[in-house]
Amino acid sequence: MSMTTAGVIFVLSLVAALVAVHKPFGDHMYRVVSGSRSSRIERGIYRLVGANPAAEQTWGVYARSVLAFSAVSILFLYLFQRVQDKLWLSLGFDPVVPHGAWNTAVSFVTNTNWQSYSGESTMGHLVQMAGLAVQNFVSAAVGIAVAVALIRGLAHSRTGELGNFWVDLTRITVRILLPVAVLGALALMIGGAVQNLSGGTDVTTLTGGTQHLTGGPVASQEVIKALGTNGGGFYNVNSAHPFENPTAWTNWLQIFLILLIPFSLPRVFGRMVGQNRQGYAIASVMAILALASVTLTTIFEMAGHGTVPQAVGAALEGKEVRFDVSNSATFAAATTLTSTGAVNSFHDSYTALGGMMTLGNMMLGEVAPGGVGAGLYGLLILAVITVFIAGLMVGRTPEYIGKKIGSREIKLASLYFLITPALVLAGTAAAFATGNNATALNAGPHGLSEVLYAFTSAANNNGSAFAGITVNTTWWDTALGLCMLLGRFLPIIFVLALAGSLARQQPTPASEGTLPTHRPLFVGMVVGVTVVLVALTFLPALALGPLAEGL
């Protein structure tokens, strides 16, 4: 079987599996976020945090709850790293330096999981388990909760209430993330992923040298890394490490877990607004953009532009042989189309155009299908912008799911869209203006791509790295940390404000002039608006970086 045929089968099997689980898993998530009964465990958590599960929250209270929970999480995780040398299972590691601890705390709480350190030589097992892995769960739950709050804004009428953040956070974590994570960890352990509390083993290599192999609770962290679209790896080389991702079928499973929740959430959207076809339309936009990205990334890598890649038939540098080029390209597309950031190959070694695709995926706003929750609310924002543009074309006040899109709504949607490009471009400019681009391994267009990728990854809460750039300095840890914070929480505030504005409206009955938002025409319009907006924003930067290198 050729590599191309194997790659096609790999992608088609993923598509079939995601289609098969879209309805049942989406319906399960709908029941979780829409139900009124709480389990004994959940009621105990509510009492612990002092939350009243029967109390609904306005968008302002919901937003303050998100910010307060995240602020406490950052502080706890920062202190956890700073005292790790005094903790059980520290493996003798020193405390993480202040700027590194700040960057890592912000990174994991914002669901970015950017890592400027080598995990196996920096973090003890307790910090990995009780610090980083816990944030993998709750940061993912926060993203889903915000998406659900926006859907409630579309579904509710003449009320400012969007649900209760503490109830949403608890139920999503306990009923959705934990059960799937347990099953997924067992599957990864069967596939060969490591799961123990060992400090490591010294082994003799084939050349007669000695190498220290670090053990740890890898499988349990690996599964939520993928399921929660987090991306932070237990080891420095992430999913390229055989202890994290041993075989081709565990590679398939990780990609499936990455896409599972984002591609199922449109079903939740359709159920909650009472129109399943609206959910199918959003899922179709996600699928079109995702399949186009996977196809182009694979083609660019299989073509292997350059003398050496053409001589060997593909661009093999930086890729694991057990995954081959096509499966590595699929993983790269999936992890940058979502906010996962995990890698099983090094994007810095990709062809110029292949590397451009990973950059472009993040610049789309990671909406195809995007991170857990963040992808859905990002695409719903783009849908709002699309109906507004369509309304301008026909001279009519735009509507979406029975809600009018007025000046307040479009201002909030525009601010949401503009914040990330502003952070990416301003951060890249600041790096060059201050001379911190000198930490990039390469000069010229490729060096620009390395710096641009770092800020694109941080501002979009992706967390993957182009590699080839040193970022464990005070300046980089501080700058990227600020990008992660602003890139996560400013959009969340705009989303919740938009949800509150929509929830207070009285539904507008559909008329002859209403644009149907469940038909192929609207799907095509959303795809077009997404691509055009991104092209207008980032094309000059891409032209100076990967496009210039590729040409």
Contacts of 534-539 with C-beta under 8 Å, sequence gap 24+, read: 534/360, 534/363, 534/364, 534/365, 537/363, 537/421, 538/360, 538/363, 538/421, 538/424
Low-confidence ranges of the chain (pLDDT < 50): 307-308, 310
Nearest-CA neighbor of 465 among 307, 332, 272?
Answer: 332
Residues 6 or more apart whose CB falls under 8 angstroms from that of 471 comprise 116, 439, 454, 465, 477, 480
For 319, list phi and psi in degrees, rounded to 5.
-120, 145
* Angstrom distance (rounded) from CA 181 to CA 333: 23
Map residue 274 onto helix, strand or coil: coil
pTM of the model: 0.95
pLDDT at 308: 46
Q: Tell which phi-psi region holds residue 193, choosing left (phi > 0), alpha (psi between -120 and 50) or beta.
A: beta
**What number of other Cβ atoms are within 10 A of residue 58's Cβ?**
17
pLDDT of residue 334: 95
Structure confidence at residue 306 (pLDDT): 55
Q: Please name the residues in contact with 238: beta carbons below 8 A apart, sequence gap of 6 or more.
A: 231, 244, 342, 343, 344
Q: Report the alpha-carbon distance of residue 254 to residue 218 in Å, rounded.
A: 13
Crossing angle of the two packed helices 444-459 and 352-363, in degrees rounded to 10: 30
Considering only CA atoms, which of 282, 246, 258 is closest in space to residue 334? 258
- Cα-Cα-Cα-Cα dihedral sign, residues 304, 309, 315, 321: positive
The angle subtended at Cα 547 by Cα 543 and Cα 550, nearest 5°, is: 155
Tokens 């400019």 correspond to 429
The model's pLDDT over 306-336, given as tens digits with 9 standing for 90+, comes to: 544 545 555 677 788 888 888 999 999 999 9
Tokens of 39: 């389990």
Neighbours of 176 (CB within 10 A): 22
State the pairing for strand pair 201-204/210-213: antiparallel
C-beta of residue 242 within 8 angstroms of C-beta of residue 233: no
